[in-house]
Chains A and B, each alone.
Chain A
Amino acid sequence: MLSVPLVVLLGQVVLGLINGAFYAVLSLGLAIIFGMLNVINFAHGAFYMLGAFVCWLLLTHVGLGYWPALVVVPLVVGAVGVVVERVFLSRLAGIDHLYGLLFTFGLALALEGGFIFVFGAAGNPYPVPDALRGIVRLGPLILPLYRFWVITASIIVCLAVWLLIEKTRLGALLRAATENPRLVTAFGVNVPLLVTLTYGACVGLAGFAGVLAAPIYQVSPTMGSNLIIIVFAVVVIGGLGSIGGSIVTGLALGVIEGLTKVFYPAGSTIVIFLVMVLVLMLRPAGLFGRET
């Protein structure tokens, strides 16, 4: 085990960061929906899948390429989110958040089942855009160029969202609206609209991650279903309500997971859960969360 060459180890750290970037984008949206709208959005993985599929459909049926898709897909997926929030989730506000979980779980199942029904379970290939094809040699290490793009794009998006939420009043408004929507409404804020748009935006983020993922993974109906609980774990480890926490945790866990893949591959599926148990035993509200 100790015979792992240093290059491989370094490479793993980079790869881990890249996976971590995915976790960060997904958990960011989830964390906002979860921490601020009080919805356990189980459909987040399904929206990620939807993002990849819309991207693929645009390419194969409309001929729209990767770059425009990067903008169009989040809008499309976000719009779906807006409809879902408006028509369904908004009616569940104020009751036990388990019902939101049940609903989004059902939605995820239905989306996944529906896509398998229509497109089959095997999935479809999506080509890496020309500009990002090829590999980068870092010394003896070979890494695909596209992965570097993923990490750059994700980190930029994460930072932008973080600034928006933490450095503007928006975050405070959202949190307050979750706690006591009627009072915030009485203060003159259109809470339902705020909530709907936030949900749409976060779901759009998942769609964005889906576009990033399409060229790496198969565009397949089940691509989001196992990811979802990992992303949940990331959010919880980071601490509910902490946007920055979920970004940092996402990246860090990507690296931890990557290194586990070198030393004890079988453990890579549970290392995140192990970390979660340890963190929660020591810090009941996660790494960056605050206790209420």
Chain B
Amino acid sequence: DQAKIGVLTDMTGQFSHEAGPGAVAAVELAVEDFGGTVLGEPVEVVVGDHQNKPEVAASLAQEWYESDGVTMINDLINSGIALSVAQIAEQKGGIAIVNGSGSSKLTGAGCTPNSIHYAYDTYALANGTANHLVDDGHKSWFFLTADYAFGHALEADASAIVEAAGGSVEGNVLYPIETADHSAFMLQAQASPAEVVAIAGSGTTFINAVKSAQEFGLTDSGKLVAGLLVWLTDVKALGLPAAQGMVLTNGFYWDRDDDTRAFAEKFKAKTGKMPHMGDAGNYSSTLHYLKAVEAAGTTDADAVMAKMRELPVEDFFAHGGKIREDGRMVHDMYVYQVKTPAESTGEWDVYKLIETIPGDKAFRPLSESDCPLVKAD
């Protein structure tokens, strides 16, 4: 029984800065830190570049599970791909752990007994930021939402929370994801009386939206910009002058405590950059997987899944993290604000912590889940 881990990710495409080489490095580090072997055999890591093509990902996943002896596939950025590989894992008796994609469908209608949604999901991110800001007195909101399922989900989750917490949604605008120029939407945001302009999108279009917000003087005119899904790499790409003041929720920040800093140093030595929540999730989940394999004494998917659920997740990423029956790994989440250039003391010193959300409050409660595995109970 050899444990073989496949990192299926976007190595060279539009998401490669969010996952890609960083994901691979994190998994490799975890294997090294585990000692390189499990059940007396070396742990092998293989890498696949799915190029954001579901067919390529599916072919590769099938081949990996079926003939290449891959026992677990990790990262899985791109929600369509994550959903389809989760299905394949179930069919072929493999394990899929999602760190790259945030779609909460993975623990909803698309949940499987063989897949785990690990680092974060859209619900948790929206939940953290919305709750915090409304509690803080920022009650009127305007949404700038990427016009696709992922953006809609972020917005829907966030506005439900805003309204539940006594805030109001003043308006929204759906921007097509191909849009490079967001200035037209900025004018609308500008004209709205709302205090908070929440951007529900990700990747390059998110970055461009924040840039225009800065260019149009949104923050100067007293509005608060909130990002509903922000990677550390996005903030780096924006630069502090453009990103400063933005409020966001994240599952991990390298400068949280000594353990995270220790991991970050190792990661940086290997890749030249600081890890973000996807990287940390890839590391932590790989480690957890290997521990479970060792505990189960086999790489058989059912046995390992059972062990993974049984053992608590205990490392720098999560303390006492737990995997629920819908596949959700439950852990604390954190609300951060982007520092101003003046506050920042170093290249990677970009966030200040403003709130910690305990795991049981961070994620969608099981009672609201539409995962068939939960209903079966």
Contacts and interface: CB of A to CB of B under 8 A. Distances in A.
Direct contact of A and B (CB under 8 A): yes
Interface of A: 4-5, 7-8, 11-12, 15-16, 18-19, 113, 116-117, 120-125, 127-128, 135, 141-144, 146-147, 216-218, 220, 222-223, 226-227, 258, 261-262, 265-266, 268-269
A8 B16 contact: no
A269 B17 CA distance: 25
> Which of B18, B175, B241 has most A Cβ within 10 Å?
B175
B188 interface: yes
Interface stretch (B82-90, B232-240, B303-311, B312-320): B232-240
B185 interface: yes
B174 A121 contact: no
Interface in B207-238: 207-208, 211-212, 215-217, 221, 233-234, 236-238
A16 B183 CA distance: 9
B14 interface: yes
Contacts of A135: 216-217
> Which of A113, A128, A147, A268 has most B Cβ within 10 Å?
A268
B176 A266 contact: yes
Interface residues of B, number: 40
A7 to B, nearest CB: 7
Closest 5 CB pairs of A and B: A122-B17, A261-B184, A122-B237, A125-B239, A269-B176
A227 B179 CA distance: 9
B211 A12 contact: no
B187 A266 contact: no
A218 B184 contact: no
Contacts of B15: 121
Nearest to A147: B183
B91 interface: no
A222 B204 contact: yes
A266 B174 contact: yes
Interface string B178-196: 1111011101101100000
Contacts of A223: 180
Contacts of A124: 237
Given A113-B12, A125-B238, A227-B180, A217 B187 contact: no
B173 interface: yes
15 contacts: A5-B191, A7-B191, A15-B184, A15-B187, A122-B233, A125-B211, A125-B241, A127-B241, A141-B187, A144-B216, A147-B183, A216-B215, A220-B204, A265-B185, A268-B179
Contacts of A217: 180-181, 208, 211
A139 to B, nearest CB: 12
Contacts of A146: 215
A59 B162 CA distance: 43
A104 to B, nearest CB: 20
A122 B207 contact: yes
Nearest to A114: B12
Contacts of B234: 122
Contact of A123 (B147, B174, B237): B237
A172 to B, nearest CB: 36
Contacts of B124: none
Given A217-B180, A265-B174, 20 more contacts: A8-B191, A15-B181, A16-B184, A116-B13, A117-B12, A121-B15, A122-B17, A122-B236, A125-B238, A125-B242, A135-B216, A218-B204, A218-B207, A218-B238, A220-B237, A261-B185, A266-B147, A266-B176, A268-B176, A268-B179
Nearest to B218: A142
B211 A265 contact: no
Contacts of B239: 125
Contacts of A127: 241
A11 B183 CA distance: 10
Interface string B1-37: 0000000000011111110000000000000000000
A223 to B, nearest CB: 7
Contacts of B216: 135, 142-144
A121 B13 contact: yes
B22 to A, nearest CB: 10
